[in-house]
Amino acid sequence: MNVGPFIRRFIAVHREKLMLLPLLALFLVILDFHQYVNLPVHSVPTPRTVDIPTGSGFFRISEILDDAGLIRKRPYFWVLALGEQSAHQIRAGEYEFSGILSPAEILKKLVRGEIKDYPVTLPEDLTVRDIAQRLLSFRLIHEQEFMDLATDPAFLASLGIEGESIEGYLFPDTYKFTRSMTTAEIVRIMVRQFWKKVTPELRERAEEMGLSLGEWVTLASIIGRESGNREEKVLISAVFHNRLKRGMKLQSDPTAVYRLEPGDGASKIVRKKDLEADTPHNTYRIRGLPPSPIANPGIDSLRAALYPASVPYLYFVSKNDGSHQFSASLEAHNQAISKYRMNRPKN
């Protein structure tokens, strides 16, 4: 059967309708593209985390997003990004996307660089190693690099720290870090917060008391490790100031168990052998302040070190409830020791 004449007649009769087909197809594609761009990728808001490596090209980025189920129709996403002139403006980093976001919203988030952050709370009086472990639990740092930087002379000098360690200068606070930050960047942020809190007025006060910056921070770190009770800090400060003026040893338990060497940390259990240990920070053996801080004090401890209470106390002992009994004489102190150690809870 010769279908040629039939086709020619069909085209002649329906020419105008056939001419509309490309326009109809184009309209349907545009409608589909518009829906793709503006409708949520998924109806379930389950968050998905993707990592855009530094140096990734646009097509590699779109592949990563597609593999994560976030863009589906990859060519449409290309058109969207090219149309928005955003293909080369996407920032590398770790992102968290909700399934209810549209591709247009996903693209905007990538261009704005809304990288996933991790709120990290660093309480007062943690040691450098404590802080390293906390940051490591969020996979925010390289542990060995962190510990190397903590004692690197050139790095410390760049931060304005004159001591041999960064101990004491990592300010306790709640921070928002991202995994795109380098270990050095994270350290700089914490030290920068320290310098914000250590105001010129406080530094002048330290000078008036005859304390260098290092001595001030060291004393504050001991006060902080001795008690987390804010009201007691000025009393503990007074004890240490009074002992320093009399040339007495500070005899602070936390200094006896502080170690800076790899594999060690600040223990909470103090044994007789610790009190007798010949270590640089052990104030049962040395006179005066240790050579450097034993932890990272908060602002309350820093202030207490500069503004001790006006009291004659020379001793204190734990009352086993988070507070201490203070004494001005050795006799009263020994009585307090007998009283509170007798009533110490059995483990």
Q: Does the pTM exceed 0.85?
A: no
pLDDT tens-place values along the chain, 347 residues long: 455 565 555 455 555 554 555 665 665 666 666 776 777 877 667 788 889 888 889 899 989 988 888 888 888 888 888 888 888 888 888 998 877 888 888 889 989 988 899 999 999 999 999 999 999 999 999 999 999 999 999 999 999 999 899 999 999 999 999 998 999 999 999 999 999 999 999 999 999 999 999 999 999 999 999 998 899 999 999 999 999 999 999 999 999 989 744 444 444 567 778 777 889 999 999 999 999 999 999 999 999 999 999 999 999 988 888 889 989 999 999 888 888 876 554 44
Query: SS in 3 state form for the chain?
Result: CCCHHHHHHHHHHCHHHHHHHHHHHHHHHHHHHHHHHHCCCCCCCCEEEEEECCCCCHHHHHHHHHHCCCCCCHHHHHHHHHHCCCCCCCCCEEEEEECCCCHHHHHHHHHHCCCCEEEEECCCCECHHHHHHHHHHCCCCCHHHHHHHHCCHHHHHHCCCCCCCCCCCCCCCEEEEECCCCHHHHHHHHHHHHHHHCCHHHHHHHHHCCCCHHHHHHHHHHHHHHCCCHHHHHHHHHHHHHHHHHCCCCCCHHHHCCCCCCCCCCCCCCCHHHHCCCCCCCCCCCCCCCCCCCCECCHHHHHHHHCCCCCCCCEEEECCCCCEEEECCHHHHHHHHHHHHHCCCCC
In the chain, the domains with their CATH numbers are 25-112 (3.30.1490.480), 117-197 (no CATH), 225-342 (no CATH)
